[in-house]
Every structure is written in structure tokens, then in C-alpha cells.
Structure 1
Amino acid sequence: MAALRPVYQADLADGTGRFFEPRRTTCPWCGSERLTARLRTTDLLQHKPGGFALDRCDDCGHTFQNPRLNEAGLEFYYRDFYDGLGEERMGGTLGGRTGMYRGRAEAMLPHDPGPKNWLDVGTGHGHFCEAARDVLPGTVFDGLDFTDGVEIAEREGRVEHGLRGAFPDLAPELTAGYDVVSMFHYLEHSTDPDRELRAAYGVVRPGGHLLIEVPDPDSRYARLLGRWWLPWLQPQHLHFIPVANLRHRLTGLGFTVVAEQHAEPHDPVDLLAAVWLALDHMAPREDAPWLARRPGAFRRGLRTAVVLAGVPALALGTLLDRLAVRPLSHRLRLSNAYRLVARRD
């Protein structure tokens, strides 16, 4: 912390305005000028300085960050989240979700159950690939990401080959090289989702499949929980694509959507996460190098007291998520994600 603090303080010396592109006046998905403010929030996870806005297109329903982070902003807000200071924490969080990863792999079984060459784009530390081998034995999994997590994934043997970089930039070297390309909670991080989809079309072999899972901006939780809805994940999530928009775009590229799932990809954490985000927001900050100084003993003790006082609410949120909401998530339109399986024609 002490070593990183001067670096962060230098980055923030002139404020956060330099991290943003100019505000858009048109929708990046359809070009419409009919935009409505949908959300105003802050960084509720790392608590780095800055305010963030999401606008919604009144014509196509696309929701997007506006103004959007530029390259310097993306580097600043991603830094120490998945790697660096956050590597151990995120590795533990993502590594403990084997059941969810198996469910994603099982989505392919009705369409192509045999061994295949599979590229997982946005693979992070490769935990999905490790779990999916049990569902699809004999399948060779490669992983692609722009963080050093993909190098960890290769080093730990979770992927056969780890490819580091931007997917559209690497795609020409991978033309028609994979039976399956997966993008699990990846497109919402992309600065240009359409470019990512065109890259995927080139990398999937004819007759192969593209699996996409993204947050569902039409989830009722998005409205009910407001800024406390975890999938907003500002400032990392740049685009929220309604399912009809994504189906239409995939069809136009030359894919046929062969499956659409809402209940299966729902992650039952919405209420638990909302309670935690609110508690964490109210409590004094934990030490972080983007704070000007380390919190004193009183503030650290007060934070512990606030978190402990919220334990009953956290427990109740967990029970409601898993026992009450999960069985009815799709029927109540509370599913926080959707999944599409598309075949390249």
C-alpha cells in the first residue's frame, strides 16, 4: 500500500476528468439521438474516485456508459482489481464457482457434445476451463484475456494456451480455428461489442458455435435495486445489450441462435450483493493506495462494527436469493443474466 500510494496520488493529482472520452449524443448500438439518463453512481467495489453515468437509448433499449472511460481510464480503474492487489481475492472468488462453470459448459451438450477446440475469451484466471473439462472430456481449452490472469491460467494448467491481448487484434491469427468460442460476462466490458462479435464470427469454424452470457439490463432487479444492483459494476461495464438486440446482431452476422436461456445463467447473489454494497458504502473505507492516507485505528474499528451489525441482513439476503428468488427468477423476470448459443452457418 505504501509503495503504491504515491503512484495513485500522482494519477489523481489533476482529478478524474482526464479518464473520460467526450460524452456521446447518439446510441453506439443503433445511432439514435433519443437518450435518457438511467443511472448515476460511483465505484462501489474498489471505491476509486470518480462518478459514472449510464444512459439508455429510447429506440433500441441499449444501455451504455456515457461519457465512457478512455484508454487511460480503463487502465486506472482495472488496475489492482483482477491482478496486483486484487489478484488473490479475485482468484479465490472466481475459483469457488465450479457449479456455475459446469452449467455454462453443459449449455453446449445439446448442440455439440463431442470433444472440440474451445477458446474462452475473457477467461480471467481460467477457472471456467478447468471446471468444463469434467463436462467435456477431451476438449482442448485455450484462454484469451488482456490481463496477466491468462498467464496465470496457462501456468496453472487451466488452459492449454494462454493468449494475452485484445480479441479483435488477435482474431486474424485464429481464423476458423475453434469449434467453440465462449464470451462469459465479457461483452459488457468491451469498448466495441460489435467488433468483438465480428471477430468471433471469423474465429468460429463454419458449423461451430458461439456462447455468450451477459448481464440482462431488462432484469427487474436492475430497476428495483438501482445503483446497488451488482451487474451494473461501474465503471468496468460499458455496455448492456438487451437480448433482442443481440439476437438480431448475431443473425445479421451469419449466426443462427439455437438456444436462449435466462433461468440457467441467473446468479443468485442480487440481494446479498446489494446489502453488502450498501454496508460497504456506509462504512469507513478500508486502506487503499488511492486514499491520501491510511485510515486510523478509530475508523478501522468503526468499519468492523458496521460490517458486523450488517451480518443478519447479509444472511437474510443470502437465504432469499437462494431459496425464495432462485426457483422463480425467470418467471418473475428477475434473472440477472441471459445466455445465447449461436451456430455459425
Structure 2
Amino acid sequence: MSSSTDGRPEEPATAGRAGAVSALRPGYQAELAQGTERFFEPRRDDCPWCGSGRLRERLRTSDLFQHKPGRFLLDRCLQCGHVFQNPRLNAEGLEFYYRDFYDGLGEKSLGGVFAGRQKMYRQRAESLRPFAERPGTWLDVGTGHGHYCETARTVFPGTSFDGLDLSAGVELAEQAGRVERGIRGSFVDLAERLGDGYDVVSMFHYLEHSTEPREELRAARRTIRPGGHLLIEVPDPESRWARLLGRWWLPWLQPQHLHFIPVANLRQELAELGFTVVAEQHAEPHDPVDLLGAVWLLLDAVAPPEDAPWLATPPTRLRRLLRTATLLAGVPALLAAALLDRLLVKPLARPWGLANAYRVVARRD
């Protein structure tokens, strides 16, 4: 079996998931034998956004998505409202918990999810139309496999879309023709080389993944021409669903999401960087999946786990049957939650403060 660049076995093309899990299990178990404490930086006693020492615990949770071992804490700053992971994952921890989520074992399932969201991608692109009818060049930061750019091109057919991402997905996006140029690497590190010629830079659900969101905003300013625009969409930590659903609120996405920025903080930071916010949207970027996501996470937590290489041993046949039975029993609850999300919650998302995300369009002055 061949090996990947980080020494892990590559998934054989014909082995299927079971074979891939078996091949990856020894490596994961060797890492986990060393404990998960080494994946974290020291806990900090001040806010990374405003420096205040007035912190309060916001959330304790586990990895509800992959079910990798570990406990994660979020703190909220009582001064500015910023919510952040504390202690934060270090570089080794980020690599461990991201592994096999968007790539490897998770690439096929997550790729299908992202590919099927054309309506949302189109709405994101349309949010710029009142301010820029024909942008020439567009850089999508955190583009993944480039599905957003593929859809946005139907809204702006004359625009050249580049995509930037840390993962190999951006190279696949270029090969598939979804982006003109796939740029792999850190946005902060590459900003100077990219220059200041882009008409638009977009960051859709990207800043919350960043270790230093302020540096990402400075990088955006360096790459946008004067008069160009920055589009940002992030989870809204002030959403009422965040309080009502607790750890079952899908956008917490621990341990991947490191920062949750209140919109007032973002507006102030953009103003200090020389941007003018020309649009702030809450109802439009709301994704009606809060109840559905909460029910699914709860069912997935209650059911015996699916086989994964971070489990010491594969589930028995009985546990696999119990998992299937649990998920099937939950189908009515999933259907009811989906209907409530779309028919009841979505129309009330803005007036009731239930929107789970916000979008900002800002012009570089």
C-alpha cells in the first residue's frame, strides 16, 4: 500500500470504507495512546479579540461529528461578546481533528453535501450584485472543492474566479474547471504575493476556522483593490438557537470552529482597516437546519458509533444493527424537525433573532 505525504496509508481505490478504516486504525491508535492533552495550547485568561480578562465559560462539549476523543471548551468575553475555543487546539491538534473530515474518509460524503447547495451559493453571489455588477476578478478564500465558484459564475459569467485553500481540494477544483486558479496555502502567508488586484474577496464560513481572524482580515485588505469588495459570512454567536440548543447547535462545530465574532465586533474591525460596510444581512444567510441538525446530532450520539479508525475495535454486528435501528426510529423526528425549520422557523429567523449566520458586504475605501 502506498503512503501519503504525511506518512499515513492512502485509501486504496477498490478497498471501500471498511478497508480504509482497517488500514488507518493502527496509526490512529498509536497517536491516541499518547493522549489528547498534547493537542492543545495553554489555556488563556484574556480575550483574544479585546484583551479583557472578564471571561465566562460558554460551552463544554465533545466531537459530535466524527466522535474523535477529546473535550472542548468555549469561553465568552463579557466585555465584547467574542466566543472562542479555550484552550485552543495547536497545529498538531488541528491536523488530527480535521483529518478524514473533509478529505480521506469524509471526502465523498462532504463533497456531495457541498455540491448540492447551489441555491445557497447563488444567494451569496447575488448579495454583491447591488454594489458590483461586473467584477473582473474574484478570490474565494477557503474555497474547498470550488463548488461555490462554479455556481457564482452563473451569476457573474464574465468574472474570473480563483480559489484558495489549505487542502488539496483546491487543486481538484482547478482540475475540474470550477476555478481558474487553485491556490494552495495560507491566505495570510500568500497575501503579499497575490497583490492588491482583486475586485472581490469572499470568505464564506471561513473566519471561524482561522486561528487569527484579524490577520485574515488584514490579508483581505492587502489583496482587494481600492473600491473592491469583501464578502464575509460566519455563524452568529448571538443567535437564540445557540442558547436554546446548547451543545446540539450545529454551528458550534467543535473542535473545528475556533472563533465566533459578534457582528458589532466585525463591523468595528473592518472600519479600522479602511472598509465601509454597505450591507449587513441576517435573514438571507440563515440556513434552516438548526432543529434538524440538533435531532441528528442527538440521534448520532445515542446510537452506537459507526466504525472509524479512532475506535480501538470495530463495532460488533449487534451494535451495527442497533445503530441502524436507532437511526431508523429517529426518521419521523428528523422529518418533523426539517419541516419546522423550513415552514415555521425560517420566516421568523430575523424578527425572533433565530438566524444562525450573518453576512457582511464591505467596500475597501
* Same structural fold, with TM-score higher than 0.5 when normalized by the shorter chain: yes
Give the alignment partner of residue 273 of structure 1, picking from 250, 275, 293: 293
Q: Does 1:243 align with 2:260?
A: no
Question: Aligned with 2:69: secondary structure?
Answer: coil
User: What is the TM-score normalised by the length of structure 1?
Assistant: 0.99
Match 2:273 to one of 253, 259, 274: 253
Which of 204, 208, 217 lines up with 1:188 in the alignment? Answer: 208
State the secondary structure of the residue aligned to 2:23.
Answer: coil
Q: Which residue of 1 aligns with 2:249?
A: 229
Q: Residue 124 of structure 2: which of 104, 108, 112 is its match? A: 104
Aligned equivalent of 2:147: 127
TM-score (norm 2): 0.94
Paired residues of 1:167 and 1:199 also in contact (CA < 8 A): yes
Match of 2:362 in 1: 342
User: Is residue 306 from structure 1 mapped to residue 326 from structure 2 by the alignment?
Assistant: yes
Equivalent-residue separation in structure 1 for 2:62 and 2:135 (angstroms) = 44
Q: What residue in structure 2 maps to residue 26 of structure 1?
A: 46
State the 1:328 CA deviation: 1.2
Matched, 1:87 2:107: yes
Contact 2:135 2:200 in 1 (8 A): no
Cα distance in structure 1, aligned partners of 2:136 and 2:72? 41
Query: Of 295, 308, 316, which aligns to 1:288?
Result: 308
Residue in 2 aligned with 1:320?
Answer: 340
Contact kept in structure 1, 2:46 and 2:53, CA below 8 Å: yes
Q: Which runs of 5+ in 1 are unaligned?
A: none
* Alpha-carbon offset, residue 174 of structure 1: 1.0
| Deviation, structure 1 residue 115 | 3.7
Distance 1:115 1:243 in 2: 26
CA RMSD of the aligned region, Å? 0.5
Could you tell me which amino acid in structure 1 is paired with residue 32 of structure 2? L
2-side partners of 1:184 and 1:198: how far apart?
A: 16
Distance 1:174 1:199 in 2: 10
Q: Which amino acid aligns with 1:172?
A: E
Alpha carbons 1:115, 1:137 under 8 Å: kept: no
Runs of 4+ in structure 1 off by over 6 angstroms are none
Q: Hey, what's the Cα distance between the residues in 1 that align with 2:157 and 2:347? A: 30
CA distance in 2, matches of 1:31, 1:42: 27
Shift of 1:223: 0.2
1:8 equivalenced with 2:35 (yes/no): no
Q: Encode CA deviations 1:97-137: one digit per residue, 9 max, x unaligned.
A: 00000000001100001142000000011000000011111
**Deviation at residue 177 of structure 1 after TM alignment:** 2.1
How far has the Cα of 1:320 moved from its partner? 0.3
The 2-side partners of 1:270 and 1:177 are apart by: 38
Q: Is 1:148 the equivalent of 2:148?
A: no
Residue type of the alignment partner of 1:336? N
- The structure 2 residue matched to 1:116, chosen from 136, 144, 149, is 136
Letter of the 2:103 counterpart: D
8 A Cα contact 2:135 2:199, kept in partner: no
SS in 2 for 1:28: coil
- Report the residue type matching 1:180 in the other structure: V
Deviations 1:5-37 (A, max 9, x none): 011011111110000000010000000000000
CA contact (8 A) 2:61 2:247 kept: yes
Q: Which amino acid aligns with 2:362?
A: A
